[in-house]
Structure formats: structure tokens, C-alpha cells
Structure 1
Amino acid sequence: MFDLRVNIAVIAVLLMYALTGSATKKGAPVYAAPQTVTIVQGQTATLRAASVNGVAFQWLKNGVFIPGATQTTYVVSTAGSYQVLSTNAANCTSDLSDPVIVNVQQANFTDVAIGINAVKVSDNMDDPFRYTIMLKNNGPVTATDVNVQNKIPAEVSYKSMDKPAKGTADYDAFNNNITWRLAQLDVGETTSLTYTVKALKVGRIENTATVSSQPADMDLANNTASTTLMMAGLYIPNVFTPNGDGVNDTFEIPNLNTYIANELSIVNRWNATVYEKKNYQNDWTGSGLNEGTYFYLLKVQTANGKWDIYKGYITLIRTIKSN
């Protein structure tokens, strides 16, 4: 036998809580009052055999050997009385340790996490892009009455919504808000909702979504998620007035010079090309053309080598009526 009895130290409860095992003494065993540890259903405590000379171990639950539980530590998740035996290099086995009583409380909270991301295919303002809201129940119990709220940013316009993988969702046009409701979300379950929008202007766009559920959520930090993207596309005017007054005399496309390359083509209503230019410099005046509406096709090359395409109309007006 060992001169020192093996004891158990509770070294981790919910990965953050620690207790000290009962002291060991030489001579006759000294039985201390059992340690009691309470964990919540679905979570764990880690027990460690406090034996200086032990080289092999055997854990017991309610006096019965636990198959395969032969390491210095043992992770528990169910209620019971836990003890350990320790064997030294000379094959001497200790007395049973003092027990650790593990109680398991029924969980009365959940942990639903939310995420959101945006995927755009180009910087072209005419190309819609998509937001996806993601949910996951991190446990420990089934979440009910799950409610997601997503106020759509003012910088975009709502276009459509895919049918959610689970639950029901609707768009409130008056408040520009999406509500997604799920009757329940099981432990470990993930699900998502995707909808399509179109940017109204260039610049930074931030979108935030929140989730609530029953029972109360144990981690409010992951109940809100945000995503930000930069819409670096071009704003292309639909009218210019080349009348020589020095104001709006050319077809000017702001920030066009931020792209690696560009190609511009202008056609009339009969689809005849009236102007085209590679590396356009914002200098077209519509020379020789009548007033009226023309149509443009603009290609711009982004920093990653990809070409974005813009299509639209431009109205040429030479005479400005005065009041």
C-alpha cells in the first residue's frame, strides 16, 4: 500500500471553476467530508487524481469500475459518487480516495448564437448582392420562441428573400425590417436565412441582426452580429448639358480614375455606335449629336483584374430653359 492515500482534486468545472481535494496523511486513512460539485446539464467537470507516486489509475462511479477510465484525470457529465484508485511503480495500490459527489442540475437557459455575412459578385451598383443570417444553438437545451430581427441598412433596397431553411420569415416594407421566427432550435442545430438587396449608393454599408429565445440566453454576447462591406462601385449620372457654360459640359463619371482600365461605348436608339473610347477620361461632349437619350456600356477593370460592366442611359441636353 501507499503511505499516502490518493485523493481527488476537482480541477475544472465548466472549464473555469476549481476546488481542492482532501488532504492526505500518513498512517490510518482520514476520511474527509465528501466534496460536492454541481454542474448544469450538458456541461462537465474534470477530476484529477492527486497522487504523487501513482503511475496507473482506475476511476469508479458509485463503487463500480468505469471501463477505460484509467488516466490521471476523468471528465464527468453525469451525477454520481466518483472515486479513484492509484497504483505505483511497485504495483502497490492505494485505498479508495474520498468521494466527490457530482450533482447535475436541469438546465434553465440556452445559448443561441447569430452570425451574418454579405456576398457580392461585383462592385457594380446594378448587381444585387445577398445577405445570409446564420443561427446555431450551442446548448445545453432546446431553444424555443426564437426571434431574429434584422433592420435592413438604409444604403440598400430590399429585393427578395429565399424561403428559410427552418421557420417563417417576412419583410416589413414600412419599417424596412426582416423578422424570422422559429418555434424551436435543437441543441447543436444550425440553420440560415438568405435575402437579396441592391445598393443605393457607394460607400460603407453595415448590417446588424439580433436573436432572442426561450429560456433565457446564458451568453448575450453572441446574440448580436454585424457585417460591413464597402460598395466601391460607380455612380453614373443620367444627364449632362454640353452647352459651353462650364457646368456639366462633359459626361463625367466620378471616381472612374480609381480603376485600372476602362472601356466606354455610346449608342443611339437605333443601336448605332456614336462614341467609343478605351481609357475614357471624362471628356466626351456629345459633339455633333442631337439632344436626346443615348445608351452606354461601360467596362471597368478592378484591382484583382476582374471586369465589371455597367449599362444605362444618358440624356444629352444642350438648351437649359430659364425661368
Structure 2
Amino acid sequence: MKRQLLYKFIGNLKCVLFGILVTLRFANLTYAQADTCQNPAPPVITGSAKFICRNESVKLTASGCSGTVVWSNGESGTSIVVKPQQTAKYMAICRARPGCISCFADVWKITVNTPNAPVVASLTKISCADDAVTLIATNCSDIVHWSDQTTGTSWTGKLQQTTTFQATCEQNNCLSNPSVPISVQIATPAKPVLSVSKSDICAGQSIQLIASGCLGTVRWTDGNEELVRTVTPYKTMTYRAVCQIGSCRSDSSESVSVQVRTAGQKVNLATTLSNGCPFQTADLSKAITGKNPVLSDVYQFRMGPSLEAAIVQSPGAVQAGTYYVFGRNTDGCYTDPVAVTVQIIPCQNPIPVCLSNPATVAVRLDSIDWAKGMVRLTAQLGGSASSASWQSDGGGLFTDTGLSARYLLSETDRQLGKIMFTATTPDPDGSGPCVSMSIKQAVMAPSRELIGLSKKVSEPVWLMEGGASLVELTYQLTVANLGTNSLKNVQITDDLDAVFSASGALIRSVNARADSGFVVNPSYTGRGADTTLLSSGNMMAGKQGHVWLTVRLDVSRANTLTFSNKATASGVDVNGGLCRDRSTNGTESDPDLNGNPGDNEEPTLVTLHSLESEEAKTVFIPEGFSPNGDGINDKFVIQRLPVDLTAQIEVYNRWGHLVYRNPNYKNDWDGTINQGVSVNVAKEGLPDGTYYYQIRLSDGREYVRFLTLAR
């Protein structure tokens, strides 16, 4: 019985040992165990250069490794040649066998000194032949090279035909990419087309004159330069205009005429009025002796026989003199004037007119344009007042005075945001009993509303589409209301042609989405006239919203792999004013926190290190990911893996310690640890940094590279 039990125990032990051997055999087929290796020493990296220009090559050599040197760009071998397009850091490890690696070697940093491309602007987009054309290049602190081989921050010359300009920036003997092309068109401006809101009016009625079809400045024959203007003609008038761009003028437009007519009759009036003691004034309305049946009950009293003459300020109390009375019919047309002579019989001890009819003054704010720095006011006089003078407590300048005043703001006025105006009538009798009159009118700056925009780009993703290798870029745009009131009609424009097409890249597709409350323009392409990305939206004060824009590009024929982009946000404030901002890089529209997003305009820059390799046409492994929960690049995703293959993954930190392992990876790693001493800490996330990985596919292919984890 004991022998049978012994045989049974030995048999069971053999099964257990066989199972262990099978398990170990299977484990060796799937993973080499890393905990039994003697970790090699890290290699020592040397290079042929640390500072280069773009497109220059550097040879890197790793010494001190008896195994295989694996570089951070995916290559292996004791030496490699690299051609970074922007400043880059290179690392390496020494691999004795799979799973047995050294610590990371010291970083070899290669600084690419290529400057940013200049920003070229023309003082005019359309010019006449032989006119001087000036272009200005900014964003370059050293030497600007123009496409005609000249140098300097500006280019001036005469053109005979439409010409496209580009410039490059040379700094520390390195040359930038060409600037975005800008064209100067040589053409005679088209003559404007004029129209009038009404061509048959009564004298004194206002009409609108409209000039269209001019891309420059409209110059009317009477000197006015507005596209839409309001005029009040008192006689039949003919209007013409030309279009001027620079010193180049179009032919004169076709004329438009405005026929001005009168009522064709006179008012029945008493032509003489007299008054005597104790009165020293007369009432002009007494001249209207009866009702005029074809006229309305509206009359005007003026100082001269023209409707352009000054209005009598106090018709009920006029002094001796001649005045003119106009009637008006039911169509609004004025009659011919009738002169009324007023005679005043003097008194021996008359009561001063200013006591019986004291002066009055009121002020009307006609318009305020804080952006242009202009305020217009009108003084309305009454009683014996005949004139007014203006003062302000600001530092600006009155350019027009009289009853209508025009005031130009000073910088002090702008900063204070408030001006007090005073209109004063003169003292009519010096040391006598009458006094001057004055009134004050405060003018406040409109509430300052601010909109801010930032723009962040995610890591490029390579894709295969229809046999073509494409790169996908996703931009996150954050628009913020930094003012004190709500904004409406919030819009974002983003010109992709200027960013990509101008550099030879082909835009394959564009997709956009936005937070609720925003409306993405369904016809947005980013090309031509369709550059409005966000067509409308409202924002409360202190709130912000997001728009995500994904662009797929074919860069196989691009003349650069560095793309610089800016977008523009705008909104309408509570006063109907337009506020706007150019985007800055990142997620904060006002990164310096000075309350002014307008002084932050860093472009959003993305550089594609190289075109896609042949290897990546079947499997793409990203250079990194950002598991921060923002919905972008939160998982480490292996793309284009055939469905019949499985992937095994091991990830090591810079000291060669295994921190993550998965024998059947499903693209679900979010940066947490599942190996080592921290494995018992629930969902502990790895710190930001560079990690080494080994990925083995079930068909035998192996990838050993580095990745960047950045939250």
C-alpha cells in the first residue's frame, strides 16, 4: 500500500515537473526573461557636430557596447547618420539580448539653428506699372534674402507685370525655409460703379451715394473718400468718382445725378414786423398771418435766403433785422423764401434782451468712434444765445468748432476712458446783469471687450489612404471671452492654403468639430474663400470653448516639412463693436497673464521629421502619446496592424527596468505601470519622459525603439 502511494506521488510529481517545463518552454517562446540577465553598461555617444543648419548631416557613434546599440530614432548599429529638421535629442541603449538592456546613454543634443521664415507684407496688393512697390520682411533678426538675390528687410522697385515674392532669413550661417508667397498685382484699378438711393428729392432732404467695385480708395469729385456717404444737396447735383490704389487711378466713373426741386410757391406772410416798449424783441411767427392751404404747418426761419443759411435760434424773440421764412408742403419740399423785416422802436430805459429772453444751451452727442479716436458733438442754442465755445478736461484737440464740434482723442483720453466736455455761451453784456450759460456732457469709452485665441497641434499621425502615404494633423483651438460682457457672433477663420498649399503640400481632407453652442461652418475647406471655420456662437464673459480641426495632407511634393499656422477669432460686443485676436501657440490665449491677448501671437509650429519609411507602410508605431484625458493621443496605438497578427510589448524606463508588459496588446496602454515594485499601486501613472520599448509581432518581426510620454 505504501509503495503504491509512493508510485502515485512520483507520477504526480513528474506531471507537475513536465507542466512546469512546458510552461517555461512556452514562456521562452513568447518572452525572454529579463530578470536573469547581467545588464550591460550604457554606451557612450559621440557625434560629428552639435550645432547644424537644417538638411545638414551628423554622424553619431556609440562605443562601449558589446551587444547591439539601439538608437532613439529606431536605427541600430554602432554608428548612424541623421539629418534632423529641428533641434533633436538622441539616446541609445546597449542590448545584450531581448529584455536585457543597459541604462540610457547620455543624451547627444543636436541644435538645428535654422531660423523661422520671414513674414513678408506688401504696402499695396495692386499697383500701376512703373509705380514704386515696397515689401517689408519681419520675423528675421539677421539677413533677409529676396528671391531676386537682393538682401535687406525691405524691397523696393518698379514692376511691369504681376510678380510673386518670397524671402528667406539667414542667421548664424543658416538659411530658413522660404516665406509664404505674396503677389503684387500690376493692373489699372477698375472704375467704381455709383448708385444713389433716390434721384429726385426736395431741397434739404438727405440721400445715400454708394460706390462699389473699388479695391482701393474711392475719391469723389468733391474730395470725399467714403464708399457710402450721406449728402444733403440744396440744388441739382452730378456726382463722379475714381478708384485709387497707391498712385494709380482708374478712369472716372459714370455720373449719377440728383434732381433737387422746390415747392414752387411762396408763403403768404407779413413782410414787416415792428415792436416797441417795453419789448425789445419781436416774434417772427407773428408774420404768419393765416394758414396756407397747400402747405403743412412746418416753417423754417433762417438768417439768409438759402436753406444752407444759419437757422434762427430763437424765432420767438428776435432783434431788429431781416430774416427769411420757408414753408414746406406735404411732400417735404420747401418753398422759396420770404424776407421779413423786423423793426424795434427803442426805449429810453430798455430791459436788456438777455433778461427777457435768457440764453440757453444744450449738448447732443452725435457720434463716438473710440477706435478711430473721434468724438462729434452739437450745441443747441436757445433764447438770446448766438454762439458757443467748447472746452474739455482731456488732452485731445478740437479740429472743428462752432455749434458742431469735432474732437480727436489723446492717448491720455484713451487711458482714462472718460472725457468731460463743456459748451459755453458768451456773456452778452459784460458787467451787466446778464450772464453766460454753460452745460457739461460726459463721454465714456465703450466697455472694453476682449477675445483670445490659442492653437495647439498634436503629434503627427501617418496614414495610408488609397495607396498614398498621408500625414494627419489635429489642431485644438481654444477661444476665450476675456472681457466683462457677453460676445455674440463668435467666429474663427483659418487659412490652410497659406499654410500648406503655398508650400506644395496637398490638402486631402478637412474635418472639424466644436463644443456645443458653437456652429462649425459645414462648407469649410480652409481654401480659397472658404476660410471661416467657426461661423457663429455666443460666449458669456469669462467662458471659453474649443474647436478641433483635423487636416490630412499629402506632403510628398512639399518643399518644406515645417508648417507654421495662425488662426483669427472675432466677436461682436454689446456695443456692436468688433473685437478680434490672432492665435498664439498652446492652450492659453493670454500666457503672460497681462490681460491683453493681442500681444501674444506665437505661431503654431509643427515639423515632420521625415517622410514615412517603407516599414511604416504596413505597421505604424507612434513616437509618443499624451495620456492626460483630453481625448487626443490618450492611448499608445499601433496602427495598420494586420488583423491576423498579435503584438507583444515590453516597455523599459531609462534605468533599464521593465515597467509595462502585455503578451497580447490591444492598443489600450494609458501610461500606467503593471510591472515592478509599483505594480500593487492601483493605476499608478508613469512620469513624463522617454522610454524604450520592444514590440514583437506574431509573424516574427520585431521593433525596438524609444517613445515619449508627455501628459
More helix by share: 2
Query: Does TM-score exceed 0.5, indicating one fold?
Result: no
Higher relative contact order (CA 8 A, sep 6+): 1
- TM-score under structure 2 length normalisation: 0.19
TM-score (norm 1): 0.38
Q: Decide which structure has the larger Cα Rg and report it.
A: 2
